[in-house]
Amino acid sequence: MNKLLLRGRVLTFVDEPQSVDDQSAYTYFEDGAVLIENGKIAEVGDYAAIATVAGPLAEIVDHRPRLILPGFIDTHLHFPQTQAIASYGAQLLEWLNTYIFVEEQKFSSTAHADFIAGRFMDELLRNGTTSAVAYCSVHPESVDAYFAAAEKRNMLMIGGKVMMDRNAPDALRDTPQSGYDDTKALIAKWHGRSRAQYAISPRFAITSTPEQMEMSRALVREHPECYVQTHLSENRDEIAFATSLYPSAKDYTDIYAGYDLLGEKTLFGHCIFLSDREIVALAETKSVAVFCPTSNLFLGSGLFDRDRFRSLGARISVATDVGGGTSFSMLETMSEAYKVLHVQGQRLSPFASYYMMTLGNARALGLEDRIGSLRAGTDADIAVLDSRAKPAMELRMRTATTLAEELFILQTMGDDRSVAEVYVAGKAMKSRIDNAVPLARSLAVPEPA
Ligand SMILES: [Zn+2]
């Protein structure tokens, strides 16, 4: 049995912090260790105690003085938009038509899909993200590329083919029947294979006819084991257009409710302009509202009102929403989340922030038994963070005296450079990608001509 012992400052959450100094929400070992056996965490605790348990044969990697945390989880992004980040000047509907619906047509090419899928997974890992929920393009081949790239890296990834049968270019439209058939085949092929999980993915109400929404309902009914992902209430023009297409629905949320798409495995991206009635509908069905701060700012969409979701008892998660979002980094995402909430008079404490990126998002996905925390029996998906990765960070860190301060500096000033190493199921990945050692070279797919 091969044993790997990581030594460092270990931080993991057991619950959501209720205040800025709620120490009951997390466990922290100043000289800590994580013992990994066969891709899973076997023990976590003080180094001296864990080293004794590990025995003399364990390989030891000393990450001191860095922080060892669970790998980050991203609950909403688009893998075909990897090369469309930073597209200038448009709000949602214009941005989709001008940039995104052009970019996604490239994914009819298997070679292109394979190339981007590999780079996408590597970029997640370079940023400390070990699991994510992504939309693929309308092409079933893009889903094959996505899950194959995840499988090569042994990552727990969730995703699915977008279904869209109107208000998009011909080359990106499926039909209610082909969307259904392709989704069924992809679920059969991928869901539960390696660490893959499937998400049934009607893009949003604007790009699906009532007939396609019916097919989505059928898929959800036939596959309760799968996730559902879509977009909801991101932009005022989008809301007006969506509700005009479904005139009998009470509001945008009611469009999806009318097809039984609300539920505890459903992730609704954005949820910026929901009425109290709509938030209560999400709360009653345990649906998850996904907060995408960099995207909401970049596309000029609006500000996510976390406290209203909280007061009405609705579940939330946090995500990058690349390529509307501007960074793969969950640290940068939480830095923007802090600002989006701050401008509304809402506080996001450093501990609450790191909870959201890890255990909070794992709970939103119902995967807290497998990922999102460092405890015996969970998968060894781990991020090692360096609070002094840049000169300005090192200088700032000289004045930091508490863990909370350090976490906040890391979030506010950090990015992929602050991620020193990433482990996926116990295997070091970031150093392999960055140094292009033989494994990374074997994973790399050349860019198609
Ligand atoms: Zn999105």
Residue 442: pLDDT above 50? no
pLDDT at 443: 54
Taking each helix axis from N to C terminus, what angle separates 403-413 and 330-342, rounded to the nearest 10 degrees? 100
| Angle made by CA atoms 393, 395, 401, in degrees to the nearest 5 | 90
The CA 255 to ligand 1 mean position distance, Å, reads 18
Question: Predicted confidence band at 433 (pLDDT cuts at 50, 70, 90)?
Answer: confident
Residue 355 has pLDDT above 80, yes or no: yes
Closest by CA to 186, choosing from 141, 149, 229, 231, is 141
Q: What is the pLDDT of residue 21?
A: 83
Average pLDDT estimate for 87-114:
96
Spacing, Cα 268 to ligand 1 middle (Å): 9
Question: Residue 60 C-alpha to ligand 1 middle, in angstroms?
Answer: 40
Alpha carbon distance 197, 97 (integer Å): 29
Ligand 1 centroid, distance to 231 Cα (angstroms): 6
**Residue 445: is its pLDDT beyond 60?**
no
Instruction: Give residue 270 CA to ligand 1 midpoint distance, Å.
Output: 8
What is the rounded distance in angstroms from the CA atom of residue 128 to the CA atom of residue 384? 8
Q: How far apart are CA 347 and CA 21, in angstroms?
A: 13
Measured in angstroms, how far is the CA atom of residue 325 from the centroid of ligand 1?
8
Q: How far is the CA of 78 from the centre of ligand 1 (A)?
A: 6
Query: What is the whole-number distance in angstroms between the Cα of residue 269 and the centre of ligand 1?
Result: 6
Q: Rounded to the nearest whole angstrom, what is the distance from the C-alpha of residue 324 to the centroid of ligand 1?
A: 7
Q: How far is the CA of 77 from the centre of ligand 1 (A)?
A: 6
Question: Is residue 59 exposed (0-12), middle (13-18) or buried (19+ Cβ within 10 Å)?
Answer: exposed
If one counts every other C-beta atom within 10 angstroms of the C-beta of residue 87, the result is 18
396: CA distance to ligand 1 center in Å? 35
Instruction: Kindly list the distances between the CA atom of residue 224 and the CA atoms of 81, 198, 367, in Å, as whole numbers in the listed order.
Output: 28, 11, 15
Strands 427-428 and 419-424: antiparallel
Contact 197, 169 (CB under 8 A): no
Q: Tell me the CA–centroid distance for residue 137 and ligand 1, in Å.
A: 12
- Cα of 328 to ligand 1 centre, how many Å? 13
Counting residues of the chain whose pLDDT is more than 90, the rounded percentage is 94
Calculate how far, in angstroms, residue 29's C-alpha sits from the geometric centre of ligand 1: 37
Nearest one of 45, 159, 70, 128 to 370, comparing CA atoms: 70
Average pLDDT for the chain: 96
d(CA 320, ligand 1 centre) in Å:
9
**Strand, coil or helix: 241:** helix
Give per-residue burial for 149-161: e unless 16+ CB within 10 Å, then b: bbbbbbbbbbbbb
Give the distance (Å) from ligand 1 centre to CA of residue 204. Answer: 9
Overall average pLDDT of the 72-98 stretch: 96
Task: Report whether pLDDT(439) > 60.
Answer: no
> What is the per-residue pLDDT across 25-66, written as a single tens digit (0 to 9) for each?
999 999 999 999 999 999 999 999 999 999 999 999 999 999
Taking Cα atoms as reference points, which of 42, 99, 37, 69 lies closest to residue 427? Answer: 37
* Residue 169 to residue 430: CA distance in whole angstroms: 38
CA–centroid distance, residue 120 to ligand 1 (Å): 15
Q: What is the pLDDT of residue 438?
A: 44
Contact partners, residue 297, CB within 8 Å, separation at least 6: 336, 340
Work out the number of other CB atoms within 10 angstroms of the CB of residue 2: 11
**Ligand 1 center from residue 76 Cα (angstroms):** 6
pLDDT at 432: 82
In the reported structure, the alpha carbon of residue 238 is separated from the centroid of ligand 1 by a whole-number distance in angstroms of 13
Q: State phi, psi for 338 to the nearest 5 degrees.
A: -55, -45
Of 391 and 21, more confident: 391
What is residue 436's predicted lDDT score, i.e. its pLDDT?
Answer: 54
- Report d(CA 186, CA 273) in Å as an integer: 33
What local confidence, expressed as pLDDT, does residue 440 receive? 46
Contacts of 249 (CB under 8 A, 6+ apart): 243, 255, 257, 258
- Give residue-wise pLDDT tens across range 200-239: 999 999 999 999 999 999 999 999 999 999 999 999 999 9
Local structure of 440: helix, strand or coil: helix
Residue-level pLDDT at 444: 56
Binning pLDDT at 50, 70 and 90, where does residue 449 land? low
Interior CA angle at 353 toward 349 and 355, to 5°?
Answer: 115
Instruction: State the distance from the centre of ligand 1 to the C-alpha of 75, rounded, in angstroms.
Output: 10
Instruction: Give which of 158, 184, 222, 224 is closest to 367, Cα–Cα.
Output: 158
End-to-end CA distance of the chain: 44
Give the integer Cα–Cα distance in Å for 117 and 119: 6
314 CB neighbour count, 10 Å cutoff = 24
Q: What is the pLDDT of residues 369-412, one digit of tens each?
A: 999 999 999 999 999 999 999 999 999 999 999 999 999 999 99
- Write out pLDDT tens, residues 272-308: 999 999 999 999 999 999 999 999 999 999 999 999 9
Residue 434: the pLDDT is 75
Which residues on neighbouring strands pair with residue 199, listed in sequence order?
227
For 320-346, what is each residue's pLDDT tens digit? Answer: 999 999 999 999 999 999 999 999 999
